[in-house]
Amino acid sequence: MKRILVTGGSGFIGSNFLNLAVGRFPKWTFINVDKLTYAGNPLSTQSLNAATNYSFERVDICDETAVREVFLKFDPHWVIHFAAESHVDRSIFGPRDFLETNVMGTLTLLEACRGQWSSFDDRLFYHVSTDEVYGSLGAEGLFHETTAYDPSSPYSASKAASDHLVRAYYRTYGLPVKISNCSNNYGPYQFPEKLIPLMILNALEGRPLPVYGTGENVRDWLYVEDHCEAILMVADKGKIGQTYNIGGRAEKKNIDVVTAVCDAVAKATKRDPGDIRSLITFVKDRPGHDFRYAIDSSKVEKELGWRPRVTFASGIAETVDWYLNHRDWVDGIRTGEYKKWIEVNYGQRGQSR
Ligand code: NAD
Ligand code: DAU
């Protein structure tokens, strides 16, 4: 019997996590605390609304009073903290929201744990973080848990700062914390500003496929469900105060990811792959664009027995199928209808289901 507070559960990874965990652990209760920014979509957790062990609170994690009220009402054993501003390009256009949510929001949650938990026994603050805190690799090498932090973008700098804060709360106050730093996720419910869903939808709609720079930059791709399984394992069996790197052992150049998407879309829609590939357009590079990310996940593999199960080829095929078969979700975002739906159902702010 556990009470789990999930922040950012209406976003991409958080909703996949809840869709997996709420059904798997019927005796645990889950509360989703989410501000519903542009990236939060209640339709992504719609199937949970009938579940008796799931509830939702529309709360900004930077709002100390609202966060304290949620803690008083729910008294969580675990806080699994996904909520963040997560898109690197947006952080370059405007860093402020990133610092506010990712740093001050994390601080607000840490303070709530420290203030509201009368004992730290059986409690956990889990920070879901990113491999981007380590900066950029050259052609060789891997990010290890001991790699020095060297973030490049305002997004990764804000995640690095929040990781440091989480560790500071462990060392200073003995707060039971765990951190995982994961590589690029893809799969259902990802907001179509990130590389893979953007390319799928543009390819389906015959629009240009913008590849930054020369397309030589490398990312390590992980299917989102594999990430969620890793989080459950680390939360359950990982050691307090420790960091775990999580990656897919699937390093790919961006141009190869985009051509794989083109071919998967062509196959799924019975179109000519050459026609879709011809939409690829090289555009101005992202400022401060990290060249390569690659994760050494041997710690989580050896200590906890985790392994990614979904190959890149099958994950891409499944993801293309998902976007093809969930046009209502996609159209809701494209037209902005989902935002209107949120205002009708939840009001401007602070209202729960
Ligand atoms: P996302 O942008 O899809 O979702 C973020 C969620 O947080 C949204 O539901 C949004 O409404 C909510 N949110 C934002 N600001 C909030 C605030 N102030 N108060 C309450 N809720 C707020 O992000 P994602 O891709 O699902 O990433 C989730 C977490 O995982 C982030 O912390 C991110 O840094 C980390 N991460 C992501 C990836 C990836 O590839 N997407 C990889 C590694 C780590
Ligand atoms: O590594 C983990 C990180 O992965 C997470 O912490 C971030 O939240 C998540 O957004 C992701 O960051 P990236 O910047 O790597 O993801 P994005 O999908 O924005 O870009 C992936 C790569 O593709 C990157 O090298 C930039 C490039 N790209 C991206 C877009 C949106 C393009 O070439 N064209 C595009 O249109």
**Ligand 2: which of 38, 194, 281, 290 to mutate, most ligand atoms within 8 Å of CB?**
194
- Identify whether the C-beta of residue 325 lies closer than 8 Å to the C-beta of residue 189: no
Q: Are 295 and 245 in contact (CB under 8 A)?
A: yes
Extents of the domains making up the chain: 3-189+222-249+292-311+336-346
* C-alpha 87 to ligand 1 mean position (Å): 9
Known catalytic residues?
Answer: 131-132, 155
pLDDT at residue number 334: 82
Q: What are the helix (H) ranges across 140-247? A: 154-173, 195-205, 224-237
Question: What phi, psi does 210 have (nearest 5°)?
Answer: -75, 115
Give dist(CA 135, CA 149) in Å, integer. 7
Structure tokens, 212? 């930054």
Superfamily of 3-189+222-249+292-311+336-346 according to CATH: NAD(P)-binding Rossmann-like Domain (3.40.50.720)
> How many residues are there in the chain?
353
Query: Ligand 2 atom 16: the closest Cα is on which residue?
Result: 194
- Residue to probe by mutation, ligand 2, list 184, 185, 217, 297, most atoms within 8 Å of CB: 184
Nearest atom, ligand 1, residue 191 CA: 3
Position in ligand 2 atom list of the atom nearest CA 213: 33
**Ligand 1 site residues, Cβ closer than 6 angstroms:** 7-8, 10-14, 34-37, 39-40, 60-62, 82-86, 101, 105, 128-130, 159, 182, 184-185, 191
Query: Which residue's structure tokens are 């990712």?
Result: 102
Q: Is 350 helix (H, G, I), strand (E, B) or coil?
A: coil
> What are the backbone dihedrals phi and psi of residue 278, each rounded to the nearest 5 degrees, phi first?
-70, -10
Q: What is the Å distance from ligand 2's center to 212 Cα?
A: 10
Residues 6+ apart with CB under 8 A from 315: 186, 187, 221, 223
Which amino acid would we find at residue 217?
A: N
Tell how many helices (H) and how many strands (E) occur in the chain. Answer: 14, 12
Query: What pLDDT score does 340 carry?
Result: 72
Rounded Cα–Cα distance for residues 126 and 24 (Å): 19
Token pair in block for residue 344:
């009708």
CB atoms under 10 Å from CB of 242, counted, come to 16
Q: Closest Cα to residue 65, out of 102, 116, 124?
A: 116
Q: Nearest CA to 74 among 179, 2, 176?
A: 2
Ligand 2 mean position to 195 CA, how many Å? 6
> For the whole prediction, is pTM greater than 0.95?
yes
From the list 114, 116, 149, the residue with the least C-alpha distance to 131 is 149
- Output the ligand 2 site: residues, CB below 6 A: 86-88, 130-132, 183-184, 194-195, 198, 210-212, 217, 219, 254, 286, 293
Mutate-to-test residue for ligand 1 from 7, 10, 12, 38, highest number of ligand atoms within 8 A of CB: 12
55 DSSP β-pair partners: 31
Ligand 2 centroid from CA 126, angstroms: 23
CA nearest neighbour of 250 among 229, 228, 224, 222: 222
What would the two tokens of residue 224 be?
């989102």
CA of 69 to the centre of ligand 1 (A): 22
Pick from 249, 322, 228: nearest CA to 13: 228
H-state helical runs in 248-326: 254-269, 273-277, 298-304, 312-325
Centre a 10 Å sphere on the Cβ of residue 239 and count the other Cβ atoms it contains: 11
Q: pLDDT tens string for the chain (353 positions)?
A: 899 999 999 999 999 999 999 999 999 999 999 999 999 999 999 999 999 999 999 999 999 999 999 999 999 999 999 999 999 999 999 999 999 999 999 999 999 999 999 999 999 999 999 999 999 999 999 999 999 999 999 999 999 999 999 999 999 999 999 999 999 999 999 999 999 999 999 999 999 999 999 999 999 999 999 999 999 999 999 999 999 999 999 999 999 999 999 999 999 999 999 999 999 999 999 999 999 999 999 999 999 999 999 999 999 999 999 999 999 999 988 887 777 766 776 654 434 33
Q: How far is the CA of 262 from the centre of ligand 1 (A)?
A: 27
Q: Which residue puts its alpha carbon closest to atom 37 of ligand 1?
A: 130
- CA atoms of 261 and 255, how far apart (whole Å): 10
Residue whose Cα lies nearest atom 30 of ligand 2: it is 195
Backbone phi, psi, residue 145, to 5°: -60, -25
